[in-house]
Chains A and B, each alone.
Chain A
Amino acid sequence: MRRRTAFYVFIAISFLAVLYMLSDSARAQAGSGQVSVAGFGKSNAKPLPPGGPAPRTADGHPDLSGVWFPGKIGREDLTAEGNPARLQFDPKVTPEEKPPYQPWAADKVKKLSTLDAEILRPSVNCMPRGVPGMFMTNPYPIELILTKTELIQLDELNNNFRVIPTDGHPHSKDPDPTFNGEGVAHWEGDTLIIDTIAIDERTWNNFVGWFHSDQEHVVERISRPSMNYLSYQVTIEDPKVLTRPWTSAPRTWSLGHEALQEYYCTNNREEEALKALRDLTEGPKK
């Protein structure tokens, strides 16, 4: 082997070795990394069984009513990061494609600095998640109440709610934008289809910058395949931002047996802290 080649390979290997040692020392610095709370960071929670058939309403539709938690275990499990039972879908089984942004929109999302992406995120600035955020970017439980004429959705997060008529009437002409939009639903077999337009442009469709235009059209499909499970899927069309409609993977919510708690965002310190950090690291901005 030529001396120069050997020398450069040696440099590369030494570099890698140094990196490994540094990362190793970072781990050592952490001490044992062990928490004495049993099961912290893991979870033994098993997915709920199907629980038999879904209850039906007097007119024969699946009764969607219940308190629903995202994931498969029917409750919150705060320390169970990464537990498959809590995930709403398995990307290996039903992968969800990235939003098909138009080039200008992809560019805009790409240009968000990490800190700007946090500061503008509705979950950080305590703005309503809106539609479909109430399902798509919501780690807290919801309660659905299906009446003869409406689906009422109560969102523990930020004490939000929306009321959706289920008679399938046409949208009004040019409704004012609202965070939950103007939603109207109808049944197709055992699936409730919610059609929503006029959504406030401050909502995001994911946690990482998927903004939308005033032309966004959201179609949600909700069904209850069994007693313990709710299935949710959404199609988003946005001719100003996307190149074509996008459809989510089917997402799973599971039946809870506790009441929603009150959640008003009355002590948000994050926005200020993130702005201060942004000033520190990226220079002052508006």
Chain B
Amino acid sequence: MKLVLKGIILAALLLLFALAANVLPVFAHHGFQAEYDGSKVIYITGTLTKLEWENPHAYFWVEAKDATGKVTTWTFEGASPIAVKRTGTVRTDFTSNIGKTVTVRAVPGKDGTTKGAAETIKLPDGREVVVGGKRFFGDAKGGEY
């Protein structure tokens, strides 16, 4: 019995250690971590259809085909337009590409719907521009914002 207990405790400790090593709390200035899964990165290619360029976040929509060929609408959240502008990305990077094909790099929502918190958008002219802060933490530890 004692050995079973020891084994279980050991396994539990190892599990805790593994989890602690992989899951560092990153407290952003807003609720990104509660809503989006920073351990996964996704690339969605489709037609840019709409932009909302307001605070606290820019939002934009992309119509993409899923694995079955069905068109689904993805909702992406970016940073505040003020913060985005300070990276050099401008509103016309979006508005002049409505109706064209783009690829968005994002982390997916935790609710399983077609939404993501976007990091970059690749435009038809080949430029990949920043639309949000670093969201994907799968390849590096996160830091305080």
In the complex, are the beta carbons of B39 and A8 less than 8 A apart? no
* A29 partner residues in chain B, CB cutoff 8 A: 40
In the complex, are the beta carbons of A11 and B22 less than 8 A apart? no
- Among the stretches A12-20, A49-57, A162-170, the one at the interface with B is A12-20
Shortest Cβ gap from B121 to chain A (Å): 10
In the complex, are the beta carbons of A269 and B59 less than 8 A apart? yes
* B40 partner residues in chain A, CB cutoff 8 A: 26, 29-30
Interface string of B109-145 (1 = CB under 8 A from A): 0110000000110100000111011101011111111
B residues 5-33 near A (Cβ < 8 Å) are 6-7, 10-11, 14-15, 18, 22, 27, 29-31
- Among the stretches A118-126, A171-179, A234-242, A247-255, the one at the interface with B is A118-126
In the complex, are the beta carbons of B139 and A40 less than 8 A apart? no
* A7 partner residues in chain B, CB cutoff 8 A: 7
CA separation between A31 and B103, bound complex, in Å? 15
- Say which size band chain A's interface belongs to: 35 or more
Given contacts A20-B18, A79-B87, contact A30 B138 (CB under 8 A): yes
Partner of A156, one of B82, B84, B144: B82
Shortest Cβ gap from A3 to chain B (Å): 10
In the complex, are the beta carbons of A33 and B139 less than 8 A apart? yes
Q: What residue in chain B is nearest A273 (Cβ atoms)?
A: B35
* B66 partner residues in chain A, CB cutoff 8 A: none
In the complex, are the beta carbons of B139 and A23 less than 8 A apart? no
Could you list 7 examples of A-B contacts with CB < 8 Å? A23-B22, A27-B138, A35-B120, A37-B129, A37-B130, A140-B82, A274-B34
Partner-A contacts on B (CB < 8 A): 3-4, 6-7, 10-11, 14-15, 18, 22, 27, 29-31, 34-35, 39-41, 43, 52, 54-57, 59, 77, 79-80, 82-87, 105, 110-111, 119-120, 122, 128-130, 132-134, 136, 138-145
A11-B7, A41-B140 are known; give 6 further A-B pairs, CB within 8 A.
A27-B138, A36-B122, A40-B120, A118-B35, A137-B29, A156-B82
Partner-B contacts on A (CB < 8 A): 2, 4-5, 7-9, 11-12, 15-16, 19-20, 23, 26-27, 29-31, 33, 35-37, 40-41, 75-76, 78-79, 81-83, 87, 114-115, 117-119, 121, 123-124, 126, 137, 139-140, 156, 207-208, 261, 263-270, 273-274, 276-277, 280
In the A-B complex, list the 6 residue pairs whose CB atoms are closest, starting with the nearest.
A82-B143, A8-B7, A118-B31, A267-B54, A33-B139, A81-B134
